[in-house]
A and B are shown apart, each in its own frame.
Chain A
């Protein structure tokens, strides 16, 4: 699904990714761990098409070169990023945002856009799966949401848009244990043979709930070690110093 070869990324003259290789197949869960400043969020940004990065190397997504696609085209083709800091958009009703988003994606796929009633029925269902109160959907997007509510909202959007590749950028940070479980349940219930996950995290605790197939250690812009779920557990005990 995703093949990254020798990826380099620079922003504001800072060379951050320095030759990163990664292959992700459908049905797989990959975790990326690594010390602060190693380039984890940059990887998420580059994959989702955040403006401002200069890149070298190749990123193939389902055979297509990703760098030539705009941010929205990537989203429409099934790349989803759960933001570390979801943005607040004052005055925009959460439901309206979600509906506009879903319909943009559906339109791009050549599917019929949903009318308001059908949408509301669908979103109510998805929200209740995540234990999200309906009232929360009529509030302004992320405005005045707690950290946990914002992250749950990201997972709700993921479940709504049904992406092929979901990138979770430190979705576990700032979550209490109950919210963490809800987020993990959300991911686990969505996981299937067709889609894949790239989970960026500092801590093992999220991986206790979402079992990764691969754990990669990112350091100084490169993947320096790859292992299975055991690697995450080990890192939690020993830290990165033995590896990087």
Chain B
């Protein structure tokens, strides 16, 4: 590949900005901002009270700093907490009413908002900065009793479900970023699958940061009622900017008896340039509760973007025989940093968890797996299997594995395997000798390394994810 081609390829292809008129909250974090958000979303009083409670709690919390990637102090008073395209201030009722510029944005991003793209078989909720701009396939889902809408809409139309479950997995006062989110969250998705229902299509949310100096505080809540099943995907992109932008999301999953939630993420926020300028701070709290017996929650994440990724999608295995899974690929290149992993909290009997983590580090990047396996004294016969593999490319990057294991039950079984390898020159030579150029060879070898995780993704996403893996590492060898 010629140098120029390479350069063009390496460029973050989602880095454009959409020029739309925005409605913004006043700058800064205070009660007025929270009231502004709640007001513009026409929220009931209980919701505003909940937010204010979180805000009061936040005042006494300190930002955590035990993570490996350090970052300059964030000035929370210098951010906008709400920014939405003016055209979306009244949520468009149909796709025809959406600002064509926004439709065009999603088209460029490859997200099928127009329902004619039926073949994709994916229902999409599109979140643009602080608001959900469109949710597709709603009617079809409604026929089955499935609720798939923005969290803002759910607060108005399904208050009982929201009241019952919001904050039930990530409590208001959990930690600094989670509490911040509870105070100022703007939009995200809400999913409810009724008992004994298998959701007939993939549900997906596409998050887009567009406005500058804006934090995105996404809130997603998914409830799988007894005997139900849902597969949910999220994708994320942002424009290229010199500033670091904060994305602090809370995602809560609740799985009742005999239900299953499969949650997949392809995170491709702007990672900053090759010198480490700009990029998203992706500080996210994701937690699922396997509340019912025989329930299952499976997290799959492909993390290729962001300047700093800091998240631990976790499972609380409360129900007997419940299962938690975490499959992760974290790729860091240039000056990107990741501190990611999972927590598996075993409370019920015969609970099982599985952790497969693949960390890939190139350039000057630093990649950390940090995970907790916690087996409670009542969780008899529970099992965990953990496998953490790290792949290093070049001499300036780092890979670290920090597993915490806490076991209070003698009948449980815990296995942990970890490897760290450098990309093998002989393998590259072998591929080159078969006619593959350096980029193709790296992509092939790395995709092979990640295979166990990639095959967890739904088909439509797996192909995209494989390409993304290759693009993220372009120019890192040779």
Known: A83-B430, A87-B427, A89-B427. A72 touches B435 (CB 8 A): yes
A71-87, CB under 8 A of B: which get 1 and which 0? 11011100011010011
B432-472, CB under 8 A of A: which get 1 and which 0? 11111110100011011111100000000000000000000
CB distance from A219 to the nearest CB of B (A): 27
The docked-state distance in angstroms from the alpha carbon of A49 to that of B437 is 13
A101-112, CB under 8 A of B: which get 1 and which 0? 110110010000
Give the contacts of A21-45 with B (CB-CB under 8 A): none
Check B437 against A104 for contact (C-beta < 8 Å): yes
Check B433 against A100 for contact (C-beta < 8 Å): no
Give the contacts of A82-132 with B (CB-CB under 8 A): 83, 86-87, 89-92, 96-97, 100-102, 104-105, 108
Contacts of B160 in A (CB 8 A): none
Check A91 against B427 for contact (C-beta < 8 Å): no
Contacts of A63 in B (CB 8 A): none
Give the contacts of B205-235 with A (CB-CB under 8 A): none
CB distance from A61 to the nearest CB of B (A): 15
Interface majority SS on B: helix, strand, loop or mixed? helix
Contacts of B449 in A (CB 8 A): 90-91
Give the contacts of A164-196 with B (CB-CB under 8 A): none
Is B429 on the interface with A (CB-CB < 8 A)? yes
Check A87 against B426 for contact (C-beta < 8 Å): yes
Which of the residues B427, B429, B434 comes within 8 Å of A157, measured between beta carbons? Answer: B434
Check A50 against B429 for contact (C-beta < 8 Å): yes
Is A55 on the interface with B (CB-CB < 8 A)? no
The docked-state distance in angstroms from the alpha carbon of A147 to that of B425 is 21
Check B444 against A89 for contact (C-beta < 8 Å): yes
Contacts of A97 in B (CB 8 A): 434, 444
Contacts of A105 in B (CB 8 A): 434-435
Is A201 on the interface with B (CB-CB < 8 A)? no
The docked-state distance in angstroms from the alpha carbon of A90 to that of B434 is 17
Which of the residues A86, A108, A140 comes within 8 Å of B448, measured between beta carbons? Answer: A140
The docked-state distance in angstroms from the alpha carbon of A140 to that of B426 is 17
Known: A51-B425, A90-B449. A72 touches B432 (CB 8 A): yes
**What's the tally of chain A residues with a CB closer than 8 Å to chain B?**
31
Chain B residue nearest to A143 (CB atoms) is B448
The docked-state distance in angstroms from the alpha carbon of A102 to that of B445 is 17
CB distance from A91 to the nearest CB of B (A): 3
Is A66 on the interface with B (CB-CB < 8 A)? no
The docked-state distance in angstroms from the alpha carbon of A216 to that of B449 is 42
Is A48 on the interface with B (CB-CB < 8 A)? yes
Which of the residues B427, B432, B447 comes within 8 Å of A70, measured between beta carbons? Answer: B432
The docked-state distance in angstroms from the alpha carbon of A108 to that of B450 is 28
The docked-state distance in angstroms from the alpha carbon of A110 to that of B430 is 23
Check A91 against B433 for contact (C-beta < 8 Å): no
Check A71 against B432 for contact (C-beta < 8 Å): yes
Which of the residues B436, B444, B448 comes within 8 Å of A72, measured between beta carbons? Answer: B436
Check A101 against B435 for contact (C-beta < 8 Å): yes
Number of A-B contacts (CB under 8 A): 76
Q: Which of A80, A86, A90 has the most CB of B within 10 A?
A: A90
The docked-state distance in angstroms from the alpha carbon of A124 to that of B79 is 61
Check B434 against A75 for contact (C-beta < 8 Å): yes
Check A89 against B448 for contact (C-beta < 8 Å): yes
Contacts of B427 in A (CB 8 A): 87, 89
Check B437 against A72 for contact (C-beta < 8 Å): yes
The docked-state distance in angstroms from the alpha carbon of A90 to that of B430 is 13
The docked-state distance in angstroms from the alpha carbon of A100 to that of B450 is 18
Contacts of B436 in A (CB 8 A): 72, 100-101, 104
CB distance from B125 to the nearest CB of A (A): 33
Contacts of B447 in A (CB 8 A): 91-92
The docked-state distance in angstroms from the alpha carbon of A212 to that of B435 is 27
Contacts of A161 in B (CB 8 A): 434-435
Check A90 against B426 for contact (C-beta < 8 Å): no
Q: Which of B432, B440, B450 has the most CB of A within 10 A?
A: B432
Contacts of B444 in A (CB 8 A): 89, 92, 96-97, 100
Check A104 against B451 for contact (C-beta < 8 Å): no
The docked-state distance in angstroms from the alpha carbon of A89 to that of B445 is 7
CB distance from A159 to the nearest CB of B (A): 13
Check B435 against A108 for contact (C-beta < 8 Å): yes
Check B429 against A101 for contact (C-beta < 8 Å): no
CB distance from B191 to the nearest CB of A (A): 32
Contacts of B435 in A (CB 8 A): 72, 75-76, 101-102, 104-105, 108, 161
The docked-state distance in angstroms from the alpha carbon of A65 to that of B450 is 39
Check B448 against A48 for contact (C-beta < 8 Å): no
Contacts of A96 in B (CB 8 A): 444
CB distance from B357 to the nearest CB of A (A): 15
Chain A residue nearest to B448 (CB atoms) is A91
Check A86 against B434 for contact (C-beta < 8 Å): no
CB distance from A84 to the nearest CB of B (A): 12
Give the contacts of B404-448 with A (CB-CB under 8 A): 424-427, 429-438, 440, 444-445, 447-448
Which of the residues B426, B433, B451 comes within 8 Å of A71, measured between beta carbons? Answer: B433
The docked-state distance in angstroms from the alpha carbon of A70 to that of B429 is 11
Check B430 against A87 for contact (C-beta < 8 Å): yes
CB distance from A138 to the nearest CB of B (A): 13
CB distance from A16 to the nearest CB of B (A): 17
Contacts of B424 in A (CB 8 A): 87
CB distance from A155 to the nearest CB of B (A): 14
CB distance from B475 to the nearest CB of A (A): 16
Contacts of A75 in B (CB 8 A): 432-435
CB distance from A11 to the nearest CB of B (A): 13
The docked-state distance in angstroms from the alpha carbon of A72 to that of B434 is 7
Contacts of B432 in A (CB 8 A): 49, 70-72, 75
Chain B residue nearest to A167 (CB atoms) is B433
Check B434 against A92 for contact (C-beta < 8 Å): no
CB distance from B73 to the nearest CB of A (A): 41
Interface residues of A (CB under 8 A from B): 48-51, 70-72, 74-76, 80-81, 83, 86-87, 89-92, 96-97, 100-102, 104-105, 108, 140-141, 157, 161
Known: A92-B448, A96-B444. 8 other contacts (CB 8 A): A83-B433, A89-B427, A89-B430, A89-B448, A91-B450, A92-B445, A97-B434, A104-B437
Give the 7 A-B CB pairs with smallest separation, nearest first. A91-B448, A91-B451, A92-B448, A71-B432, A104-B435, A101-B434, A87-B430
Listed A/B pairs (26) with beta-carbon separation below 8 Å: A49-B432, A50-B429, A51-B425, A51-B429, A71-B433, A72-B432, A72-B435, A72-B437, A72-B438, A74-B433, A75-B435, A83-B430, A87-B426, A91-B448, A91-B450, A91-B452, A92-B445, A92-B447, A92-B451, A100-B436, A101-B434, A101-B435, A104-B434, A141-B448, A161-B434, A161-B435
